[in-house]
Structure 1
Amino acid sequence: MDYAGLDYRNIRFPVDRPLTDAEREACFQQKKARSAPPMDFLSVIGFNSNYIDLVDRWYSIKGFNTWVGALVVLLSIGGCAGIYIALFFSGRTAPLEMVDWIGLSFLTPLFLAMIWGGWWLIRTECGRWTHYPMRLNRKTRQAYFFRQDGSVLAVPWDSLFLALGEAKSPLSGTTYDLRAHVLDADGETVRESFSLGYPSLLGNAESIDKFWAFLQPYMEAEDGVERTWRHLKENTGYLIPVDGRKEGWRWSIVQNYAWTGHWPWLQFIGSPVLGLNAIGRMFAMWTSKVPQWPEEVERENPVEADDPYVLTWRDNGPIGWWELYWPLICTVIGVGGYVGVIGWVVSGLWR
């Protein structure tokens, strides 16, 4: 869907290049606030007076590549098997003609290529990491990014060049994120990039202003800790439950439907797709590893025992009807429709 920057088989944000004029015009300066209502877009894992942990841009949409890839693999295997069964195992008495061999020589590599492509999509999410966390330390002013190969980037917060990032996809259109660039010593060349904030598929350029209005005070304002803590307590309701653990199936349902949370009717109409995405998300999470910060990072980021501003997913309130149970019903309806169709087809074949 919107997997810009996913570093699998060299798909990533462009690096080793100069900053563009558009990035310079749309930059966010660490010391400058934005006059927009703050929004965290359900991106916070943990919070305290020393640091804040955030999820990556691909976390919210995880599951899409898994079910699409699985569908491509299954259809390709089925198509390939159907052709060979029809030609060699169906009791056919006529010998194969030239057109049959031409068809086999063309379709067999095509189906094998589609199987490989489907497996490639599955591997972008499964058997990797459940998420790729980021940590911003307010006191030491260090930023940490858990790379997709399991290594960790540590860079001074004030050295990051922050800009409005854009990505285009045939399925999701133009999406935006808060892009963080690590520059070379010349201050011009981009050596590494990561997405610091992502406002979901429905976000726009103004959404990044809102995310910056949430994040910037924590790192820069004198009362930033209290302001951010109050925002999380009063406006967010939930922190992401992935700190040292995999998300459970309940949260997979909640997260999968969160971006459509204001439109229950859309969740119902979209249940055939959203339901498959929920199943794909659960499978991707189940097969992936939980990221762990290295010991040196944990030593550099202690949590004070008497810190009154500590927040984790354990402080979340109960998940309500419209956050969990209605999406769960939609998932059952959406997936159940496919099960019914498959059962009807199979029963017809056995008649």
Structure 2
Amino acid sequence: MNYTGLYSPFSLNRPLSEEDIKYQLRQDFSGMGKSDSLALADDAVIKMNSTYLELVDKYYNDRGMPEIFTFILSSMFISAAFLCIYFSIVELVKPVGSVFGFFAYLFMSIPSGAFGFFCYRLLRKSWFTWTHYPVRFNRKTQMVHVFKLDGSILSVPWQEVFFTRGRAGRGPMPECSIDGYILAEDKQTVLDTFSLGFSTERRELVKNWAFIYSYMNVDCLEELKDIIALCPPIAEKKESYLFGLQYMMRVDSRLEWFFTLTLLPLTLLGSVARYIAMRTSKIPSWSAEVEADCQFDPNDPINVSAANNPKHLWRYVLANQSLEEYNALYQRQEQAMNRLREKVQAQKNS
């Protein structure tokens, strides 16, 4: 889980690091990787039309799982603090009370309450906030619009963002994300940071970046439309409990069923925490300026949203579609990928 920026702040007002430069994702063909690994949508697209592509944030994917632990810990330690205060009062008022017991219970309430309050503050970073933090890429105006964690909106030209594959954690299997840096005039100092809705290994992020780059620069909207299989239905409404559970349980293969069943009790707890997060949070709203910048034709032939999701969603998320449905989706995506490779190669050669 990659929660840098939400639970721990991004490092700002700093120079670009060697890693930032090494793993930069450029707004040209050099950032697209090999032609056989293009355009992986990864269930992160909220909407796509001929004008803009809207993506979820990187926190949306695992929403609910961290909240289980922060809620349990905050409840336990805050309850323990109140119990300690209660017993200290009992020691003070009972006829044979102990002054030592009074101060001992009162002293124990301080670290319990402090840690419980700390966990509660972490919980509030997900509950009573926003349902998600979308990012829009406007193909026509070549602008990027970012709905930030504090509810403000950042708009910046596509070519002026320094994109890189940022890393969270220093362990043997750190998670990485596509981070966008807003640089100072010296083009070396990071003033602001946002992340896109992908969090995985660094080599896989090239595929996600290829999807975004293709949308912004290549005449391939029909191909990208055919690649997208699942869109979160969160553009104008809050996610339902059922979809949240489905999104948390989605797998790529039936071989993952064993792990899915093993983790099912934890997933069910997480789905409840996710539902509370969605119910207590507000739906993000773009400013009038962004909406004006992103106006699109209602009759646009490229109109991808949750309305295009698979008919049998449970079967899709559990990799258990009928053979007919699976073959139709596979052939559609494979043919779209082949057409996309041809277009990318033709544009490279032109």
Unaligned stretches of 5+ residues in structure 1: 327-351
CA distance in 1, matches of 2:72, 2:291: 41
Match of residue 311 from structure 1: 304
Amino acid of the structure 1 residue aligned with 2:63:
K
1:26 corresponds to 2:23: yes
**1:286 is the counterpart of 2:279:** yes
| Deviations 1:10-44, CA, capped at 9 Å, x for gaps | x4211111111111111111111221242111100
Q: Tell me if structure 2 keeps the 8 A contact 1:253–1:324.
A: no
Structure 2: distance between partners of 1:26 and 1:243: 31
**Corresponding residue to 1:269 among 262, 269, 272:** 262
How far residue 93 of structure 1 moved from its aligned partner, in angstroms, is 7.9
Give the Cα separation in 2 of the matches to 1:92 and 1:268: 53
Equivalent residues in 2 for 1:171-210 (5 A)?
174-199=174-199, 203-210=200-207
Aligned AA for 1:283?
Answer: I
- Identity, in percent, stands at 26
Is the contact made by 1:179 and 1:197 (CA closer than 8 Å) also made in structure 2?
no
Asked if 2 retains the 8 angstrom alpha-carbon contact of 1:57 and 1:198, the reply is yes
Q: Does 1:227 align with 2:258?
A: no
CA shift for structure 1 position 81: 4.7
Matches within 5 A, 1:1-351: 1-6=1-6, 11-32=8-29, 33-35=32-34, 36-83=37-84, 95-96=97-98, 98=100, 100-168=101-169, 174-199=174-199, 203-221=200-218, 223-232=219-228, 237-258=229-250, 263-322=256-315
Distance 1:322 1:146 in 2: 32
How much has 1:75 moved relative to structure 2? 1.4
Query: How big is each residue's C-alpha offset from its partner over 1:299-329, in whole Å with a ceiling of 9 and x where there is no partner?
Result: 1111113311111111212243345799xxx
Give the counterpart letter for 1:5 in structure 2: G
Q: Distance in 1 between matches of 2:104 and 2:170?
A: 33
2: CA distance, partners of 1:260 / 1:275: 19
TM-score (norm 2): 0.82
CA displacement at 1:84 relative to structure 2: 5.7
1:195 alignment partner, SS class? strand
- Quick one: structure 1 residues 259 and 120, their matched pair in 2 at CA, closer, same or farther if it must change by over 3 Å? farther
d(CA) in 1 for partners of 2:111, 2:59: 30
Closer/same/farther in 2, CA of residues 152 and 87 from structure 1, 3 Å limit = closer
Residue of structure 1 in register with 2:322 after alignment: none
Q: Which residue identity does 2:182 align to in structure 1?
A: V
Amino acid at match of 2:233: P
Q: Cα–Cα, structure 1 residues 261 and 95, in superposed 2: closer, same or farther, change >3 Å? A: farther
Instruction: Tell me how many residue pairs correspond in the alignment.
Output: 313
The answer for unaligned runs of 5 or more in structure 2 is 320-350
Question: Displaced runs of 4+ in structure 1, greater than 3 A?
Answer: 80-95, 259-262, 319-326
Equivalent position SS for 2:311? coil
* Cα distance in 1, alignment partners of residues 223 and 71 from structure 2: 44
TM-score, length-scaled by structure 1: 0.81
For residue 45 of structure 2, what is the amino acid of its counterpart?
V
Amino acid paired to 1:165:
G
8 Å contact 1:2–1:169 — kept in the other structure?
no
2:86 and 2:251 map into 1 onto residues whose CA distance is: 44
Note the aligned Cα RMSD (angstroms).
2.6
Please name the residue that 1:348 is paired with.
none
Q: 1:325 to 1:230 in 2, by over 3 A?
A: closer
Q: Distance in 1 between matches of 2:264 and 2:12?
A: 38
